[in-house]
Structure formats: C-alpha cells, structure tokens
C-alpha cells in the first residue's frame, strides 16, 4: 500500500460512508487515511466522489476488522457509532474482534471510540459506570482505557459521523467517548505470544 510514503496513517474502522477518512485525507496531506468497512454499499458514494475528485492519500478497504491485515499500521484509529460485531467488540462481548481492532494499531497508538446504545437497540442503556467495567476486557485485548466520558454534539461533528448525526447523539440521545491506547511493544509481544493467560503463567514459572 502507498501508506509508507506518508508520515502518518489513520484507520477509521466501520467507516460507513467514509466521510471521516475522506475529511482527514483532504485536510491532512501528510496523512494516509484508510476507511475500513465491510459493506460495499456503504462506501459507494465515497468511491464515486473519489472518481470525480481523486485523492492519492486515501484507501477504501472493503473488509471487516477481523479479516483485515493492516497489522500495526495505524498511528491512530477511530470507531464511530459501531453496530453489529463491531459494537459487540466495543462493549467487551467479542474479545476476538476487539483484539483485531488492537492489532491494526502501532504500539502506543491511540484509539478513539464514539458509542451509543439505548433500549430501542435491544440493549441496556450505556452509562459511564457500565463502560468503566470494560477496562478488564480492553486490557486483555491490549488496549488501555485512558478516558470515558459523555459525548457532546461537538464530538459527533469532529467525527464527521453521518450515523451520529442521524441518531442526534450527544443531544437527544446519549453517546459516549472511550479513548484508549494500544499497549507498548513489550505488552504487545506478550499478547502476540498467547495473551494475558500466557503472561501470568510465565510470570509464575
């Protein structure tokens, strides 16, 4: 991939219509932006707009995060208003998918998540207290949570999230920001060699 020619790479996981990575590519010419999205339909308009107005520093990658092989490429990653298996990963219910998210990041690289779930989604409404319980599952996936807070409308606007706007997240519907970082080299290599269970086994040998 051309990404190596750029000083930074960002990955928007579950990019939907790709507005965020397109915005980054247009406004940060030194950054290579990747829209990672399994639905071809979702990125169709972004692909059309790139045909009209080409950009050399953006890629639309049609793949789920678990099938992606961008291992350790991202200097920063984002997940904005996930659904399906990506939502399950963010809420600590799919350790395999959360590990795949972590795997796309360089050691110490940040991941910023915007998430919302309410009764209407068939889920218990999220709260800061319920999200605090995710620290363990995230640590097991190699992600250290730095901050959990309520999302504002400004967070949704910065994310260029079409879905967040549609939900009116940060205004009539509660949304949350989870900021985390991928563990550094040492921890990442422990995880690659078998995860935290392996780490505790080896430390007791």
Kindly tell me which residue out of 95, 118, 162, 179 binds ligand SAM, with binding defined by CB under 6 A.
Answer: 162
Q: Which of 21, 38, 137, 170 binds ligand SAM (CB under 6 A)?
A: 38
Shortest CB 112 distance to ligand SAM, Å: 12
DSSP string of 129-185, one letter each residue: HHHHTTHHHHHHHTEEEEEEEEPPHHHHHHTT-HHHHHHTBTTTB--EEEEEEE--H
Interatomic CA distance for residues 183 and 187, integer angstroms? 6
CB of 63 to ligand SAM, least distance (A): 7
Q: How far is CA 90 from the centre of its chain?
A: 9
DSSP state of 205: -
In whole angstroms, the minimum distance from the beta carbon of 35 to ligand SAM comes to 9
Tokens found for residue 129: 């207290």
Among all residues, whose Cβ is closest to ligand SAM? 16
Hey, which residues between 64 and 123 contact ligand SAM (CB under 6 A)? 64-66, 80-86, 97
Stretch that binds ligand SAM, among 2-10, 27-35, 61-69, 125-133 (CB under 6 A): 61-69
Q: Closest distance between ligand SAM and the C-beta of residue 62, in Å?
A: 10
The answer to whether the beta carbons of residues 153 and 170 sit under 8 Å apart is: yes
Among the residue ranges 9-17, 105-113, 133-141, 183-191, the one whose residues contact ligand SAM (CB under 6 A)? 9-17
- Interatomic CA distance for residues 72 and 192, integer angstroms: 12
Contact 76, 31 (CB under 8 A): no
Which residue, chain included where needed, has tokens 């009209």?
A: 52
Q: Degrees (nearest 5) of the Cα angle 71, 102, 93?
A: 135
Piece of the chain touching ligand SAM by CB under 6 A; list 7-15, 146-154, 183-191, 196-204:
7-15
Nearer to ligand SAM, 23 or 199 (CB): 23
Q: How far is the CB of 103 from ligand SAM (least distance, A)?
A: 12
Instruction: Kindly list the residues in this chain that would bind ligand SAM in the complex (CB under 6 A).
Output: 13-16, 36-39, 42, 64-66, 80-86, 97, 161-164
């Amino acid at each position: 991939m051309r990404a190596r020619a750029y000083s930074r790479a960002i990955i928007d996981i579950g990019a939907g219509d790709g507005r965020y990575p397109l915005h980054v590519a247009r406004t940060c010419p030194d950054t290579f932006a990747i829209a990672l999205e399994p639905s071809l339909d979702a990125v169709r308009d972004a692909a059309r707009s790139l045909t009209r107005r080409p950009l050399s520093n953006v890629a639309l990658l049609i793949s789920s995060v678990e099938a992606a092989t961008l291992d350790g490429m991202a200097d920063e990653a984002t997940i904005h208003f996930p659904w399906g298996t990506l939502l399950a990963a963010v809420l600590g219910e799919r350790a395999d998918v959360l590990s795949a998210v972590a795997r796309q990041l360089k050691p110490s690289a940040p991941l910023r998540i915007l998430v919302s779930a309410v009764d209407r989604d068939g889920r218990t409404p999220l709260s800061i207290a319920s999200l605090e319980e995710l620290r363990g599952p995230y640590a097991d996936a190699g992600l250290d949570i730095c901050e959990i807070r309520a999302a504002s409308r400004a967070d949704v606007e910065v994310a260029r999230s079409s879905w967040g706007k549609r939900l009116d997240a940060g205004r009539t519907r509660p949304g949350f920001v989870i900021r985390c970082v991928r563990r550094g080299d040492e921890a990442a290599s422990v995880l690659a060699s078998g995860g935290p269970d392996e780490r505790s086994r080896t430390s007791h040998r």
